[in-house]
Each structure stands twice: as C-alpha cells, then as structure tokens.
Structure 1
Amino acid sequence: MRSWALAAVVVNAGITVTGAAVRLTGSGLGCPTWPRCTPDSFVPVAHPEISPINTAIEFGNRMLTFLVLAVAIACFLAALRLTPRRPALLKLAILQPAGVLTQALWGGLVVRSALNPVTVSVHFLVSIGMIAAACALYARSGEGDNPPQRLVHRDIRTLGFVLTGSVLALLVAGVVVTGTGPHSGDEAASRFSFDIETVARVHADLVWVAVGLTVALAFALHVTNAPGLARRAALILFLVELAQGVIGYVQYFLAVPAVLVGLHVLGSTLVWIATLRVVFLLRDRGPLPNSAGLNAAAVNAGKRVTSPSSP
C-alpha cells in the first residue's frame, strides 16, 4: 500500500511537470481536439498546420495519463485488499482514480477552450490537489488509525498549518503569473490581462512569507527538541525553497526562458510535497492496526515452540 502511494506521489508530480513542458514547447494544441488527437483520428496523423513534434509532445503527455491511472487503480486495489480493511485509506485511495478521470475531462475542456488561462490554471491546481491526496495516502498508510496526537506544541503545529496555507497561496499566485506571462502553449491562446511585473512582485512577496514561516517553524522545532524527522523535514523544505527562489529570480532577470520555467514548475511541486511532509510529521496516529496483532502472534508462536508440552 505504501509503495503504491509513493508511486502515486511520483507520477502525479511527474505529469504535472510534463504538462508544463507541453505548454513551454508551444505544444498545447498539438492535438487540436479532444478526446481525439485530430478531428478524425485518436492517434497523431500528419496535419499541415501543426508541427509533428508538437503533436508528438501533446499526444505523449496524454498517454502518460494512462500510467497515472494505472497507479491510481493499483492504489485503490491495494487499499481494498488490506486486512483489516481501513476505511480512511480506502477513501484516500479512491481519490486517485477519481482525480485522474476528472483531470482527463478537464484536459478536454482546456483544449476546447483553446488553452484559456483560467482552465489551464485550474488544471494545474487540480494536480496539486491530487499530489496532496497522494501524500496523505502515503503518510496514512505508514501509521495507525488512532486519533492524531501532537508531537510538538500546539502553536508549532498551528504554524505548520499556516505555512501550508501560505504555500498554497504561493502556488495560486504562481499560476496567475504563468497565465500572464509569455508561455501560453500556443500562439492562439489568450492571456490574463494583468500587469506581469505587478503579479510577479506579488508572487515574490508570497515567496518571502513562505520562507519566513519555514524559518520560524524550523527554529521552533529546534529549540523545543522536536522529533528528529520533523526537524530534518523542515530543513529540507527550507533548502528546496532556497533552490526554487534562486531559479525564480534567475528566470525573471533572464526574461523567463522555457527551460528555467520548467525547472520552476518542478520546484513548485517539490516545495508542495516537502511542505506536506513536514505537517504530517508533526503528529502521530500510533502503530499500524495489524502491528500489535502480528507481534502478539509472534510471541504466542514463540511460547508454543519453547513450551515443554509442545511436540
């Protein structure tokens, strides 16, 4: 269960980045229709007005959806076969195939709207939601179902929630910047009418808020001698944010080259995953439900083996 949940985190993050690559290469309408690639074919065919490379990139990204769907179904089946069955994991697992189907339908709307920046932005944010669900599934599959017990002071855990909200706001601001900037995915695509410098500055301000909250959280965890895993996770988040910040400022001063924008999208998914990891490590739900039963069975088996009356 835990392995498939980790795979779900990886593939959802991966298709988020490859989706950005489709836009950055100008391949957003490489397949100009949906669900077909062209008006009369589900697979790429020569089209006089579309580059074969752009068509291959867009069609390839569509095919990756089936990989994400396969992992999503595997997550659901793994949760379904757990003994004892855990309803919490089953609910989280079913979000994966449901999310993939939602994304596929929404992707059709993105194409049919000619890459309207609103639909493209929502497409990315739904991916962020699916990554969050996969991270939750991964965390919950490695722990029990007891009520959550704080491993840190209440105010520190609250700070973790505030940090998560700030990172989510940062991601929303990021898609607004993207929807205003030059990489639309196709020459025919529309753009937000905001001033690019203004939205970029707002985005940068939110970066500093998130970094400041991360530093505060890392410091609070250190001085309160919080569990080592939580302290290391906060440090990793801070380092990922620093790398992401460097990429962001460099791409801004270099007039947002496509390669750096792609790395920035990768960085945004890593910041989100690292943030969620910190929050999940601030509480504990006890051992896995079957751990106690397995240990008891092992002890009883040992007693039977060592008992004088045993055959």
Structure 2
Amino acid sequence: MKLPTDHPNRHVRSLFSVWAPTKQSMRAWALASVVVNAGIAVTGAGVRVTGSGLGCPTWPKCTPDSFIPVAHPEVSMLNMLVEFGNRLLTFLVLAVGVACVVSALRLAPRRRSLAALALLQPAGVLAQALWGGLVVSTMLNPFTVGMHFLISIGLIAACWMLYARAGEGDGPARPVAHRDIRKLGYALLAAVFALLVVGVGVSGTGPHSGDEMASRFDLDIEAVARLHADVAYVVVGLTFALLFALHVSKAPRPARLAALALLAVELGQGVLGYTQYFLAVPAALVLLHVLGSTLVWIAALRVVTSLRARSPQTAPADHSPAEAAGAPAAV
C-alpha cells in the first residue's frame, strides 16, 4: 500500500510529514515557524504604517457586532481589511506551531528538548493573540504595541532554537570556538536585543502610530534616534570584532559565514535606516526597516548557535507513539 509520505507530489509529502516526521522534515517545519513568526511581525508593522491599527476597533470581534469586517461609519473598510487580514495570519502561525508540536511528539525516537521548544510556539501565539486584545483596548498605547513586537522577537528565538536543535543531537554542547569568542557572541546577541528595544522606543516616539487616536512616548525623537544609531554602532563593532576573532582563530567555516552574513545584514539595515531618516521616515521604508530588524535578530541567533555543536544523543529518549506500538516486548 502506498503511503502519503511516498506521494509523488512534494506538497502532499510535506503535509503528511507532520505525522511521520524525519530529522529533515522536523527542521523544515521549524524553519517554517521562523519564517511565519518573522512575517507576522512585519505585517504587524504594515498595519501600523497604513494607519490601520484600529481598523478593527474591538477584540476578539472586529466590530462590536461582528467577527468579520462589516461597513462601519467611523472606520475605513480598507483599514478594517488590513487589520483583519493580520489577525487571520495568526491562525497560519498557530497552524505551523501545532505542526511543529505534532512533529516533535511523533519523531522517533522522541526528543524531550525538541518537544519542549515546540510547545513554546502555540503557547506563545496564544499569548500574542491575548496581548493583541490589550493593544486594541489601550488604543495602541506605544508600550503595548512595542511589547507586541518584542514578544514576536522572543518567539522567533524559540523557533530558531528548535530549528538549530533539530539538526543536532542531545549530547552535551561542544564549543567550536574559544571561550572568550563565545562570550563575545553572547555579548553581541545582547547588544542586538538592546538595539531592538531602543528601536521600539524610536517607533513609539515617531510618526506612524497606527491611528490618529494613538498616544506617543513623551520623548525627544532626535535624542532617541541618536541613541538608536549609537547602539547600532556598538553592534556593528562587536560583529566586526567577532568576525576578526573567528578568522584569526581559524574557527569552523559555518561560524565565520554566519558572522559575515550578520555583518552584511547590519550594514544594509544601517543604509536603510539613514535613508529613511533623511527622507522623513516614509512608510514603505519603515516596513523594510522592521523586516531588516527581524533579519538582524535571526542572523545574530544563527551566529550564537554556530559557536557550539552537540554530539549524537547519549541519554535515553522517549519513544514516539508509532515506535512504541511496533516495538517488541522486552526479554
């Protein structure tokens, strides 16, 4: 009998790989989760720059009397559709997260580390959905809007760790670079996170609040923007130092390539940031800058995970339901 996992159509095979996962398909689902979580962070910024933040003025309903967009005298239908479309994307992110959980639980042999990381995804998506309701109820308060983005950053980190761990064993972590170089990598990751936090402050102070009724941080936009640029210089400096250290210490090629990719993304993001500043922050460039921010974060996570490796599994693992059903009795 021909199994769905042997189907000639690769899309059908991918769909059924959730139930009969392999190491490769587990990594593919984890990477898909990274992509969709990064994507919804960017589309969320799209909601803001199009002034659609309150396109659906209530939560969980779009309007007080409907879950879907309906004509409303005080809200543009276009803004309503933009906001509602972003809400619908939450279900895609949740579906991919559930696929990761099922794959992790069905993987033979089952790995506790992967199952734990996978479970963070649907839990995080549900938390994000509830936080989205708070964003609406606070009329796009810049703090709640900023936290919405930072929660996405945390989810992306969990998804990336699932992707990285799915390609490794469960043995002890084995460093592939000197201890001080790894410390530099962690310092770089912390600096990138600080850069994102300050960037949230810039977004909450400047234009593109998401709606005319939204409040703003009572800060000097010039001062906050300069602070953001200063932290960016620190990040680029740390990245260059890490790249140099990896080169002179002859670290493995994947680690050097990861650091080089991070530096390239940072430089592109810097050019984009200065361009939007001198062009008075056009909405399209803000959207691209948010995309660049997520790419910088993912590239930084890649650098850190490239500085260590894990041996094949040494500790006993749980057996998947499929494996347990077909296992012979112990003698």
TM-score tier (shorter): over 0.9
Identify the residue that residue 252 of structure 1 maps to in structure 2: 277
- Deviation per CA, 1:236-285, whole angstroms, max 9, x where unpaired? 00000000000001111111110000000000000000000010010011
Aligned pairs (5 A) from 1:158-177:
158-177=183-202
Aligned pairs (5 A) from 1:1-311:
1-287=26-312
Output the amino acid matched with 2:176.
L
Q: Give the ranges of 4+ consecutive aligned residues of structure 1 lying more than 3 Å apart after TM superposition.
A: 287-290
What fraction of aligned residue pairs are identical, expressed as a percent? 70
Does the CA-based 8 Å contact 1:142-1:288 persist in structure 2?
Answer: no
Output the amino acid matched with 1:35.
P
Distance in 1, Cα, partners of 2:30 & 2:312: 18
Distance in 1, Cα, partners of 2:227 & 2:30: 34
Does the CA-based 8 Å contact 1:179-1:191 persist in structure 2?
Answer: yes
The TM-score, its normalising length taken from structure 1, stands at 0.92
**Unmatched 5+ residue regions in structure 2?**
1-25, 316-331
Tell me the CA shift for residue 49 of structure 1: 1.1
Does the CA-based 8 Å contact 2:171-2:313 persist in structure 1?
Answer: no
Output the amino acid matched with 1:134.
C
Distance in 2, Cα, partners of 1:288 & 1:139: 15
Distance in 1, Cα, partners of 2:108 & 2:74: 55
Distance in 2, Cα, partners of 1:226 & 1:244: 26
Does the CA-based 8 Å contact 2:188-2:239 persist in structure 1?
Answer: yes
- Deviation per CA, 1:67-120, whole angstroms, max 9, x where unpaired? 000000000000111111111111100000000000000000000100000100
Which segment is superposed worse, 252-261 or 279-288?
A: 279-288
Structure 1 residues 289 and 59, CA gap change in structure 2 (3 angstroms): farther
Does the CA-based 8 Å contact 1:125-1:172 persist in structure 2?
Answer: yes
**Unmatched 5+ residue regions in structure 1?**
291-311
Tell me the CA shift for residue 287 of structure 1: 3.3
The TM-score, its normalising length taken from structure 2, stands at 0.87
Output the amino acid matched with 2:107.
L
Pairs aligned (count): 290
Secondary structure in structure 1 of the residue aligned to 2:232:
helix
Distance in 2, Cα, partners of 1:232 & 1:222: 10
